């Protein structure tokens, strides 16, 4: 990883403060990468199926993993491939459902359409019905709390503990484990 990251002026990139996240295939890849490189402090999967049968035993107790999933046509606990790997994740782990969403809601398409002055309503079956700006707020808030917790070695904030259910009523935590103290 060191050779891939740029130098920032006189000091090198701090490879001890790297986390990975991604949507779809990128989300699954973030978790696979974390299981193979202990310098990756945490991973977030935005609605991505885990392809194949990778071994996640390389994930340590200090590498938390969070999953986001859409609710249109999805089972109550998210992607079945996540549940299959769930026992291999030793660190804090969280599965978060975002209501009124589809797989494409997690991409930048709804936000780009809105920025271009286009309505997402005619594409609700593909893009979901959640307001694109609200989706951005949700992703930023949960990602920030998760990564701040991962870097600090702590559980994270009130959102992750379910203590602010009214802040984002579209969001529900469907599974969580190993939250003693990241």
* Confidence class for position 54, pLDDT limits 50, 70, 90: confident
The domains located in the chain, with CATH, are 18-177 (3.40.50.1820)
Q: Please write the tens of the pLDDT for every residue from 98-151.
A: 999 999 999 999 999 999 999 999 999 999 999 999 999 999 999 999 888 888
Q: Show the DSSP H helices in the chain as ranges.
A: 25-36, 80-85, 109-115, 124-127, 132-152
Q: Who has greater pLDDT, 94 or 72?
A: 94
* Confidence class for position 182, pLDDT limits 50, 70, 90: very low
Helix (H) or strand (E) holding 35: helix 25-36
Please compute the mean of the pLDDT values over residues 36-41 and round it to a whole number. Answer: 88
pLDDT over threshold 60, residue 5: no
Distance CA 73, CA 174 (A): 15
The shares of helix, strand and coil residues in the chain, as percent rounded to the nearest 5, are 35, 20, 50
């Amino acid at each position: 990883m060191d050779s891939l990251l740029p130098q920032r002026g006189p000091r090198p990139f701090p490879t001890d403060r790297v986390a990975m996240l991604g949507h779809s295939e990128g989300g699954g890849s973030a978790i696979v990468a974390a299981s193979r490189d202990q310098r990756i402090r945490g991973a977030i999967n935005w609605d991505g199926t885990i392809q194949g049968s990778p071994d996640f035993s390389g994930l340590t107790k200090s590498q938390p993993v969070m999953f986001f999933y859409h609710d249109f046509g999805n089972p109550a606990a998210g992607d079945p491939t996540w549940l299959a790997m769930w026992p291999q994740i030793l660190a804090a782990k969280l599965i978060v459902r975002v209501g009124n969403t589809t797989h494409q809601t997690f991409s930048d398409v709804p936000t780009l359409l809105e920025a271009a002055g286009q309505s997402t309503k005619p594409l609700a079956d593909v893009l979901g019905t959640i307001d694109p700006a609200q989706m951005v707020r949700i992703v930023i808030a949960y990602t920030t709390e998760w990564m701040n917790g991962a870097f600090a070695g702590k559980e994270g904030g009130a959102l992750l503990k379910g203590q602010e259910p009214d802040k984002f009523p579209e969001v529900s935590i469907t599974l969580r484990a190993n939250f003693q103290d990241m």
